[in-house]
Structure 1
């Protein structure tokens, strides 16, 4: 098993500016072409039934005239392109952190335009920075790997600035599994919370009141600093929830397949397939649903994906803002683990109005569990309609995003 050392860090740093190598996606992205079915499966997987994503008859009467994708759906798409590394860099960096446990640290999204059905998408995912640090999680050495990913419509006739769909800047904390086992999750309870019938009934009552604003406009002039947005409860998290999320999300680029296809993946990335107690190779992703394996990677119990809480943040904001608003920016930081058995309450409040763009609203977000432990925090910037009810104007994508698209087109 590879440990973090000077050589592995140096090898990985050679990858900066080139396509990321931490995941094996297979020949195609999970969704090669955008479809309303795909939008619905993805949204339903994190508990969202917003008709703007899910109901073509409803969406036909709105300002888009059709369903659009939930903002974070774009993560399921994108034929990989981008600057490939030279052969020696690819060879040396491919296994730089093999066997080292990676945990998502957080990310910053910017959404440039809506995605409707019938499109193919390209993406460039490059390593942008590698930090060598002492791990606050594992107690030993860690490597924080930053990625920048851009998605755009696969249509060279559309100018790059108009084709840009989304940009994602994220980072992963890589720590060796021996040190993560020494201190992982020590700030949280070791045993799952035992839920009473009364506690479940209270959560069910919150579910009964959750609503999506939909076609009722929320104008910028009606919002003030200090306003709270509607709280969404999620969970208590079950393995079924994680299965539902995978149905819409796919395998997150990991390349986890079945039977002969899993064998092909094991040949390429054997370190991602440790044996189970029966001696059968199985995906290292199983720490998300297999409590015994989760303990081996340093967590108290099986745990969710950080990206699931990102989707919960997006769900909370889009349900509040209404159909004609635009979720422009979304940021999250994964502060602690969200374990199977935990419930989560996503809360938000308005922190600023009109400071970024006309009609913009800055929102702070937190996700906390039944012990009042904050497991994720962040914020969002929403563009709301004006007093005339017209949808807001979306800002042009940053110049560096346009440059990436144009470089990949040459």
Structure 2
């Protein structure tokens, strides 16, 4: 799950950044859980939302969606969002670097949870659990172990954070994993009994449950009549250079115009995601691509625009090297859009929902798969769309987490 800039979080999903300990309501959530109406003896669960001030990737979406729904389901416990005042999202230059350092050196080890009571319980939606919480009751959500197995997949700050992962898992009262692949990987890598790990998968936001209105432009960029779509950050593990190879080969094999001059418009490649770490070489490769005029970078996309962006795409192309879950895949499938993924990590699970799972990172195989979809104008069946919507539910995942956390409080 996904480096910064998967897509822009709405205002209601963004960390306000201050205070250190937020009120007990989020936008869109009933205020009946405010501290003035709760007894002192009520159990309290503090949910870490610091990621929402750090990235707009799927990891931040997960944190916000779970916290939002836990607050709806909270009784008989009180759910409180915990955020950092030191935002790096939307910051640039020295201010971004300074806020990142203050978050890691001041907020996490010192200020986080400063107003917590001794009997409070915590839920961390990432593995950056400060040492001061190791003796408290806490649950932790594991997205994937990609950085543990290959530290080149993360920035230097992220790599430093993986060093405490064994201790975090050893001290956690319970461990959640967002896919069976991740659960098995955690159990195998750290010799943790599988029963200590509970599946808590991603879900579909409400925007994906109803047919979206068509869109002509996103971020003032006109959407082409035919396009392949990649939703995610531009970080290395997303394997965008491979996708550029596939697109170049696909364009070279496009059918030539007929003698009458008729030709289908070229199938363009549309990428989402704003600035990401270590993305300068990729942006240079895009600028030098032989079909650069057919590649569009939309930047951050508002969540309310994502369903239409998926629905109007010919296919989602998602050649990621590793995913703890793969949220864009179920979002695309829910809109009837075919998805092509590589047979690795958690992505193999989506074959059961109509996705095309390719065995190799071989450009020719991907080109053939795309050409078949374009030629037949393939769409995902209603049966598979319904299966995706019924299987992946944020409310169901929040209920699983809620029951488990109540048991350990």
Q: Same fold (TM over 0.5)?
A: no
By percentage of residues, which structure has more strand?
A: 1
More helix by share: 2
Q: TM-score if structure 2 supplies the norm length? A: 0.26
